[in-house]
C-alpha cells in the first residue's frame, strides 16, 4: 500500500515540478517522464504482489470532508486495473518524451507533462478510492487533465471541438454518478464503500442503471461513445494510448466496483450488459471499418473492445444470478483479462499509429503504404498488436475471448442457463466481431504498412528513435507473453475473480479441474503451431539453398505501367462492408466522374460521420439550446456577478440546511 | 486410442490432396471430359517443391511468412479435428473455438501476403475474402452451439462422435439444417463453386486464387497443400455429422469415415458440375442464407 502512496506522491510532485519548469522543455520532460516511469515501477510491485498473494491492503485517515474518511484500499480487482495503468503510463511517458520533441518551444511542454502525470495520479486514485467523495474528486481531476491533454494542439479547430465534446460528455456522465453516490450515501449514511450494505431491489436497480449510464459514458458504450472517436485522435499519440488503453477502463472499473457493492444481481442486468456489449462491439467495429484516419479507426475499436468487456461482464452477471458459478467466473475472468489485454494492444497500436504520423505527417491511410520497409520495428510490433486485437491465436486477445466463449458454451449446454439466448447471442456476436475486426486490421496494417508508398511523404518515412520503439517492443512482448503463458495469466486473476463472484480464490474454476488443464492444452496447440511454422521456414530455406531466388515486379496482368496510386485503398478494401452496412453507416460520397471523350480530372471521396452524433445528439442538444435561450440573460460574462451567484446559492443552501435541522 | 488418432492424422496429411483430385475428376466426368489424373495435385506439389523462387520487389517478410504461418495454422486445426469416431490428437473443452480461430489466422496471413504485393487484383481478392468469411464465421459457430446443445459436449472430439443415430431421430431436422449451413460454408471457405471458381482465368472475378497470384515455387506448394488440408478438416466435421454410424471396430469406423470423405468429394464435384458460379453480389445472400439456416436449427433445438 505504501508503495502505491509513494507512486501517487511521485506523480503529483513530478507534475508540479514539470509545471514549474515549463520554461525549460528539456528539464520539464525529464521530470515528467522520470516521475511517470519511477511511479510505474513503484506501483507495479504492490499490484503484482496483491494479485499473486491475494492479500488486501487499505489505508484510512480522517479528513475535513463530509461523508466518511479519506479511505483508499488495494484489493485484487483494483490491482487488475492498476497493472495496465502503471505499465502503460510509464511506457507512454517514455514514448511521449521524444514524441513531443518537435513541439518544444511551440507549446508548453511543462503544462502537458503536468496534465499527463496528474492524469496518471487521478487514474490510480480512482481505482484505489474507497470513498465516494474521494472517487468523484479523482474522477473529475481525471476528466479535466484529459481535457487539457486532448486540446494540446489547441490552435487546430478539430482539437478544440473534440475537447469541448469530451468535456460536455464526461460531465453529463459525472452528473449521473453524482446522483448515484448521493443515493448510496443516503442509504448508508456514509460515502465509504465498505459501509454500503445490501440495498432494496428497487434501489439496487436504480443504482445499476445510473452506473451503466454514468460509467458507460466514460467507457464508451454505444451510443454514449460519441466523444470517443473525436477526442482520442485529437490528442498526441502517447496520450491517445493512455486514454484508450486505461482511461476509458475506469468506466469499466466503476461498473465492476458497483457490481461488487450491489451484491447478488438479477438476471436482467446481464441481459442489459450483453445487449450493450453486442451493440457496442458490432457497431464499433463496423464504424471502424469505414474510417480512413488511422487513429479514428483505432478509437472506434476501443468502443468495440469495451463492448467485448461488457459481454464478459454480462455473462458473469447471468452466471451469478442463475447460480452457475463457473459460467460467472469465466465471464468475469474473460472481461478482466480483456481489460489488461486491451490496454496492452490498444496502447501498442496507438503508439504505432503515432510513430507513423510522426514519420509521415499524416494519419490518412490512403496516403500511406509500404511503411514496413522503412519502419520494420513499428511494422513488426503493429502486426502483433493487430493480430492480438483481432483475437487471433496465439496472442493474448484470443485467451480472454476464449474464456468468454467457453463460459458461453457451458451456458448453452443442457443444464446450463435456463434461457441460453444471451449465451448464443454472445458467442455468435463474438464470432462476428472477431471476423470484422480481423478484416479491419488486415485493412489497417495492409494499407499502411504493405504495398508501395502512395505519396512522397510515405516514401520518405523513417523509423522512430529508440525511446519510441522500446515501449512498443515491450507491449508486443507482453501480448505474446500472455498468449503463450495463458495458464499462468489466468491463474493470476483468480483472486480478482473471487472478489467479483464471492467464491474463495482457491475454488475459482475449481468446479471443473479441467479448465486449468485445458488452458495447458491451448498452450500446447499454440506451441505446436509456432514450432511447425518455424520448422517449415527452415525446410523452405534448405530447399531454396542452391536454387535461383530472383526479384521481379508484381504480376501486373499485362498492364505495363502501374503506379502506386492504383493500389487498393483503405476505402476500396472496406467497400463491401460499407455497402453491406450502409443503412447504419450512412457514408457520404462526393464524386465527380470522368465525362466526355477528353475527361477532366475526376475525384471521389467518402466520409462516414458518426450517425449517433449527427442524428441523435445534435438535434437533441439543439432543442435544449433552443429551450434555454430565454435564460441567456443570466450569462453575461461579468465575473463579479458570477461570484455573487455562487455566494447566493451557498446562502440559500445554508438557510435550507438550517431549516431542516 | 492415441495411436489411432496419430494414424488418422497421418492419413489426412497423405490423403488431403486426393480430395481435390476426386472433385476435379467428378466435375470433368459430369461435363463429359476425362479430366486430369486423380493424383494431379500430388504431381503439382512435387513439381513446385523442386522449383526456385521469384519474389516481387514490393514484398517484405510478411509475404514470405504468409505461407509458413498459413500452413502451420491449418495443421493446428488438423490437430484438433476428430476423424470419424476417433478423438483428435489434441482435444479439450472449447477446442472448437481454437479450431475456428486457427482457420481465421490462416486467412489473416493469406490476406496480408496478398496486400503485400501492392497489386489491385490481390487487394480485391483480399477484400472479398475477409468480407465473406466474416459472414461465414457466425453461421459456423451457431451450428457448433446447436450441436453442443444436442450432444451435451463442447469439444469437437466428443461432440461430433456424440452425434448418433439416436440424435438424428431426436433432432433430425435441426441437424440437417446445420449440415446444410456447414456445406455452404465449406464451399465458400474453400473457394468452390458457387462462391468462387478455382478454374477461372479472369483475375477480376476470383477470390482465393487471385490472392496467391504472386506466390510461386515452394511457397505456392505450401499454399496449395494448406488449401487441401483446409478442405479436409472442414469436410471431416461435416462427414462426422452426417455419418452417425458406429461399429466399434477401429478399421470399420475408419472405412466409414474415409468413405464419407470420398462421397463428400464426389458430392462437391457434382455440385460444381451442375451449377454456375454466383454473381459476386449474390454471395453475401447465400452466406446470410446459411446463417438463417443455422439460426433456424438453433430455434428447433431450443424450442
Mutation site, B123, B210, B287, interface A, largest A CB count within 10 A: B123
Is A545 within the bounds of a domain? no
* Cβ within 8 Å, pair A452-B57: no
* Cβ within 8 Å, pair B75-A555: no
Residues of A in contact with B141 (CB under 8 A): 427-428, 431
A415 pLDDT band, cuts 50/70/90, is: confident
CA atoms within 13 A on the CB side of A366: 17
User: Is residue A427's pLDDT more than 60?
Assistant: yes
Q: How many CB atoms lie within 10 A of CB A321?
A: 18
Shared-domain flag, residues A173 and A319: no
Shared-domain flag, residues A628 and A505: no
* Cβ within 8 Å, pair A568-B54: no
C-alpha cell at A7: 507512486
Q: In the prediction, which pLDDT does A168 show? A: 92
Is A186 within the bounds of a domain? yes
User: Is residue A67's pLDDT more than 90?
Assistant: no
d(CA A609, CA A586): 8
C-alpha cell at B157: 472430439
Shared-domain flag, residues A4 and A112: yes
Radius of gyration of chain B (CA): 19
Q: In the prediction, which pLDDT does A178 show? A: 94
Shared-domain flag, residues A437 and A315: yes
d(CA A42, CA A4): 7
Q: Is the pTM of this model over 0.90?
A: yes
pLDDT tens digits for range B103-150: 999 999 999 999 999 888 889 999 999 999 999 999 999 999 999 999
CA distance B83 to chain A (A): 18
* Cβ within 8 Å, pair A580-B284: yes
User: Is residue B190's pLDDT more than 60?
Assistant: yes
Shared-domain flag, residues A39 and A183: yes
Q: In the prediction, which pLDDT does A192 show? A: 85
Assess B98–A contact: CB distance below 8 Å, yes or no: yes
User: Is residue A512's pLDDT more than 60?
Assistant: no
pLDDT tens digits for range A184-217: 888 888 888 888 877 888 899 999 999 999 999 9
The percent of residues above 70 in pLDDT, for chain A, comes to 99
From A231, A263, A295, the end of a domain falls on A263
Is A162 within the bounds of a domain? yes
CA distance A591 to chain B (A): 21
CA atoms within 13 A on the CB side of A21: 18
Q: In the prediction, which pLDDT does A190 show? A: 82
Task: Choose the closest CB to A551 out of B55, B65, B145.
Answer: B55
Task: Choose the closest CB to A572 out of B123, B130, B218.
Answer: B123
Assess B72–A contact: CB distance below 8 Å, yes or no: yes
User: Is residue B62's pLDDT more than 80?
Assistant: yes
Task: Choose the closest CB to A576 out of B54, B55, B131.
Answer: B131
Shared-domain flag, residues A25 and A166: yes
Q: Which residues pair with A549 in a beta bridge?
A: B53
Q: In the prediction, which pLDDT does A60 show? A: 82
A173 pLDDT band, cuts 50/70/90, is: very high
Q: In the prediction, which pLDDT does A61 show? A: 83
- Listed as own residue / partner, the contacts of B264-267 with beta carbons closer than 8 Å and 24 or more positions apart are B264/B19, B264/B235, B264/B238, B264/B239, B265/B19, B265/B20, B265/B22, B265/B23, B265/B26, B265/B235, B266/B22, B266/B23, B266/B26
User: Is residue B21's pLDDT more than 90?
Assistant: yes
* Cβ within 8 Å, pair A555-B131: no
Shared-domain flag, residues A364 and A482: yes
d(CA A471, CA A88): 9
d(CA B7, CA B2): 9
Among A211, A244, A247, A306, residue whose Cα is nearest residue A121? A247
The answer for B 186-245 residues in CB contact with A (under 8 A) is 203, 213-214, 217-219, 222
d(CA A630, CA A624): 11
Shared-domain flag, residues A63 and A119: yes
Is A544 within the bounds of a domain? no
Residues of B in contact with A372 (CB under 8 A): 60-62, 116
d(CA B57, CA B220): 17
d(CA A461, CA A373): 9
Q: In the prediction, which pLDDT does A513 show? A: 55
Residues of B in contact with A543 (CB under 8 A): 49, 218
Shared-domain flag, residues A337 and A406: yes
Average pLDDT of chain A is 90
Residues of B in contact with A566 (CB under 8 A): 120
Residues of B in contact with A379 (CB under 8 A): 60, 62
d(CA B222, CA B219): 5
Mutation site, B138, B210, B282, interface A, largest A CB count within 10 A: B138
CA distance A566 to chain B (A): 7
Average pLDDT of chain B is 90
d(CA B87, CA B96): 13
User: Is residue A351's pLDDT more than 90?
Assistant: yes
C-alpha cell at A19: 509545471
Look at residue B93 and give its three-state secondary structure.
coil
d(CA B67, CA A86): 39
Shared-domain flag, residues A189 and A284: no
Give the domain range for residue A342. 272-511
Average pLDDT over residues B27-38: 91
Task: Choose the closest CB to A533 out of B72, B79, B127.
Answer: B72
C-alpha cell at A511: 468446479
Q: In the prediction, which pLDDT does A409 show? A: 92
Size of interface A-B (CB pairs under 8 A): 256
Contacts of B223 (CB under 8 A, 6+ apart): B67, B70, B71, B110, B212, B215
Residues of B in contact with A575 (CB under 8 A): 127
pLDDT tens digits for range A555-568: 877 777 778 888 88
Q: Quote the Cα angle for A203-A204-A210, to 5°.
A: 90
C-alpha cell at A176: 449521473
Among A276, A260, A279, residue whose Cα is nearest residue A268? A276
pLDDT tens digits for range A461-493: 889 889 999 999 999 999 999 999 988 899 889
Q: In the prediction, which pLDDT does A611 show? A: 84
Is A283 within the bounds of a domain? yes
d(CA A421, CA A412): 8
Q: Which residues pair with A589 in a beta bridge?
A: A606
Look at residue A594 and give its three-state secondary structure.
coil
d(CA A533, CA A605): 41
Assess B302–A contact: CB distance below 8 Å, yes or no: yes
d(CA A491, CA A61): 34
Q: In the prediction, which pLDDT does A390 show? A: 95
The answer for B 4-43 residues in CB contact with A (under 8 A) is none
Average pLDDT over residues B69-89: 91
Average pLDDT over residues A29-44: 93
Q: Do the strands A588-592 and B53-56 form a parallel or antiparallel pair, or are they unpaired?
A: unpaired
Residues of A in contact with B140 (CB under 8 A): 431
Mutation site, A451, A512, A575, interface B, largest B CB count within 10 A: A451
Average pLDDT over residues A431-449: 95
Q: Quote the Cα angle for A493-A497-A501, to 5°.
A: 170
Q: In the prediction, which pLDDT does B73 show? A: 96
d(CA A608, CA A588): 6
* Cβ within 8 Å, pair A402-B98: yes
Q: For chain A, how many structural domains are there in total?
A: 4
* Cβ within 8 Å, pair B137-A435: yes
> How do the domains of chain B map onto residue ranges?
2-137+155-162+192-277
Amino acid at each position: 500500500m505504501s508503495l502505491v502512496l509513494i507512486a501517487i506522491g511521485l506523480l503529483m510532485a513530478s507534475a508540479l515540478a514539470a509545471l514549474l519548469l515549463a520554461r525549460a522543455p528539456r528539464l520539464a520532460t525529464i521530470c515528467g517522464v522520470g516521475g511517470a516511469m519511477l511511479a510505474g515501477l513503484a506501483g507495479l510491485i504492490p499490484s503484482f504482489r496483491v494479485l499473486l498473494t491475494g492479500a488486501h491492503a487499505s489505508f484510512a485517515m480522517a479528513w475535513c470532508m463530509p461523508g466518511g474518511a479519506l479511505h483508499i484500499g488495494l484489493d485484487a480487482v483494483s490491482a487488475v486495473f492498476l497493472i495496465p495503468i502503471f505499465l502503460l503510463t510509464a511506457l507512454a511517458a517514455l514514448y511521449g518524451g521524444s514524441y513531443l520533441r518537435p513541439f518544444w518551444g511551440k507549446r508548453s511542454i511543462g503544462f502537458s507533462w503536468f496534465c499527463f502525470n496528474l492524469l496518471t495520479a487521478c487514474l490510480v486514485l480512482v481505482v484505489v478510492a474507497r470513498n465516494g467523495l474521494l472517487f468523484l474528486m479523482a474522477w473529475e481531476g481525471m476528466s479535466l487533465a484529459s481535457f487539457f491533454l486532448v486540446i494540446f494542439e489547441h490552435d487546430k479547430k478539430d482539437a478544440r471541438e473534440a475537447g469541448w465534446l469530451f468535456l460536455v460528455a464526461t460531465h453529463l456522465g459525472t452528473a449521473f454518478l453524482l446522483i448515484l453516490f448521493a443515493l448510496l450515501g443516503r442509504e448508508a449514511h456514509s460515502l465509504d464503500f465498505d459501509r454500503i450494505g445490501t440495498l432494496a431491489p428497487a434501489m439496487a436497480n436504480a443504482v445499476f442503471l445510473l452506473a451503466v449510464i454514468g460509467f458507460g459514458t466514460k467507457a464508451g458504450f454505444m451510443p454514449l461513445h460519441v466523444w470517443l472517436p473525436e477526442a482520442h485522435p485529437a490528442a498526441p499519440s502517447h496520450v491517445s494510448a493512455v486514454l484508450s488503453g486505461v482511461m476509458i477502463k475506469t468506466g469499466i472499473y466503476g461498473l465492476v466496483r458497483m457490481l461488487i457493492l450491489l451484491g447478488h444481481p438479477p438476471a436482467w442486468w446481464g441481459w442489459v450488459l450483453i445487449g450493450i456489449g453486442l451493440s457496442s462491439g458490432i457497431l464499433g467495429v463496423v464504424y471502424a471499418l469505414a474510417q480512413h484516419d488511422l487513429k479514428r479507426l483505432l478509437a472506434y475499436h476501443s468502443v468495440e473492445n469495451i463492448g467485448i468487456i461488457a459481454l464478459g461482464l454480462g455473462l458473469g452477471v447471468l452466471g451469478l444470478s442463475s447460480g452457475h458459478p463457473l459460467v460467472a467466473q469465466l465471464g468475469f475472468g474473460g472481461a478482466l483479462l480483456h481489460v489488461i489485454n486491451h490496454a496492452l494492444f490498444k496502447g501498442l497500436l496507438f503508439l504505432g499509429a503515432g510513430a507513423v504520423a510522426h514519420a509521415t505527417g499524416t494519419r490518412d491511410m490512403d496516403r500511406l503504404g509500404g511503411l514496413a520497409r522503412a519502419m520494420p520495428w513499428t511494422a513488426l510490433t503493429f502486426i502483433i498488436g493487430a493480430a492480438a486485437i483481432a483475437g487471433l491465436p496465439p496472442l493474448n486477445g484470443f485467451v480472454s475471448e476464449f474464456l468468454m466463449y467457453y463460459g458461453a458454451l457451458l451456458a448453452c449446454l443442457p443444464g446450463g442457463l435456463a434461457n441460453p439466448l444471451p449465451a448464443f447471442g454472445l458467442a455468435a456476436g463474438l464470432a462476428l466481431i472477431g471476423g470484422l475486426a480481423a478484416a479491419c486490421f488486415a485493412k489497417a496494417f495492409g494499407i499502411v504498412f504493405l504495398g508501395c508508398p502512395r505519396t512522397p511523404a510515405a516514401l520518405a518515412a523513417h523509423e522512430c528513435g529508440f525511446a519510441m520503439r522500446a515501449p512498443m517492443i515491450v507491449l508486443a512482448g507482453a501480448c505474446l507473453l500472455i498468449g503463450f503463458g495463458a495458464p499462468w495469466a489466468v491463474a493470476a486473476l483468480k483472486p480478482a475473480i473471487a472478489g467479483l463472484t464471492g467464491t474463495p480464490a482457491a475454488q475459482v474454476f475449481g468446479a471443473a479441474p479441467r479448465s486449468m488443464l485445458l488452458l495447458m492444452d491451448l498452450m500446447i496447440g499454440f506451441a505446436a503451431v509456432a514450432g511447425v511454422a518455424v520448422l517449415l521456414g527452415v525446410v523452405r530455406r534448405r530447399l531454396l539453398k542452391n536454387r535461383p531466388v530472383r526479384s521481379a515486379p508484381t504480376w501486373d496482368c499485362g498492364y505495363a505501367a502501374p503506379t502506386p496510386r492504383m493500389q487498393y485503398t483503405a476505402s476500396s478494401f472496406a467497400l463491401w462492408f460499407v455497402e453491406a452496412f450502409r443503412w447504419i453507416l450512412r457514408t457520404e460520397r462526393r464524386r465527380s466522374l470522368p465525362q466526355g471523350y477528353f475527361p477532366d480530372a475526376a475525384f471521389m471521396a467518402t466520409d462516414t460521420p458518426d450517425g449517433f452524433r449527427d442524428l441523435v445528439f445534435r438535434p437533441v442538444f439543439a432543442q435544449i439550446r433552443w429551450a434555454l435561450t430565454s435564460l441567456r440573460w443570466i450569462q453575461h460574462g461579468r465575473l463579479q456577478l458570477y461570484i455573487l451567484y455562487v455566494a447566493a446559492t451557498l446562502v440559500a443552501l445554508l438557510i435550507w440546511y438550517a431549516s431542516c435541522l | 486410442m492415441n495411436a489411432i488418432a496419430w494414424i488418422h492424422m497421418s492419413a489426412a496429411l497423405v490423403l488431403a490432396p486426393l480430395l481435390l483430385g476426386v472433385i476435379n475428376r467428378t466435375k470433368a466426368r459430369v461435363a463429359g471430359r476425362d479430366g486430369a489424373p486423380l493424383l494431379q495435385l500430388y504431381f503439382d506439389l512435387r513439381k513446385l517443391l523442386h522449383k526456385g523462387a521469384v519474389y516481387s520487389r514490393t514484398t517484405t517478410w510478411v509475404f514470405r511468412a504468409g505461407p509458413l504461418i498459413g500452413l502451420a495454422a491449418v495443421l493446428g486445426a488438423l490437430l484438433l479435428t476428430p476423424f470419424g469416431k476417433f478423438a483428435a490428437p489434441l482435444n479439450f473443452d472449447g477446442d472448437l473455438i481454437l479450431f475456428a480461430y486457427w482457420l481465421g489466422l490462416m486467412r489473416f496471413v493469406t490476406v496480408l501476403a496478398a496486400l503485400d504485393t501492392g497489386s489491385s487484383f490481390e487487394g480485391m481478392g483480399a477484400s472479398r475474402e475477409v468480407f465473406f468469411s466474416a459472414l461465414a464465421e457466425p453461421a459456423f459457430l451457431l451450428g457448433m452451439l446447436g450441436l453442443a446443445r444436442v450432444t451435451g459436449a463442447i469439444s469437437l472430439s466428443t461432440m461430433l462422435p456424440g452425434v448418433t443415430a439416436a440424435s438424428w431421430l431426436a433432432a433430425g431436422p435441426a441437424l440437417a439444417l446445420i449440415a446444410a449451413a456447414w456445406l455452404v460454408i465449406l464451399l465458400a471457405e474453400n473457394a468452390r463453386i458457387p462462391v468462387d471458381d478455382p478454374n477461372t482465368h479472369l483475375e477480376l472475378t476470383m477470390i482465393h486464387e487471385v490472392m496467391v497470384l504472386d506466390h510461386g515455387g515452394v511457397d505456392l506448394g505450401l499454399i496449395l497443400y494448406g488449401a487441401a488440408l483446409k478442405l479436409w478438416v472442414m469436410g471431416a466435421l461435416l462427414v462426422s455429422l452426417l455419418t452417425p454410424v458406429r461399429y466399434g471396430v477401429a478399421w470399420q469406423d475408419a472405412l466409414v469415415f474415409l468413405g464419407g470423405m470420398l462421397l463428400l468429394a464426389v458430392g462437391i464435384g457434382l455440385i460444381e458440375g451442375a451449377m454456375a458460379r454466383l454473381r459476386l453480389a449474390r454471395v453475401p445472400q447465400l452466406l446470410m442464407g446459411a446463417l438463417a439456416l443455422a439460426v433456424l436449427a438453433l430455434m428447433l433445438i431450443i424450442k
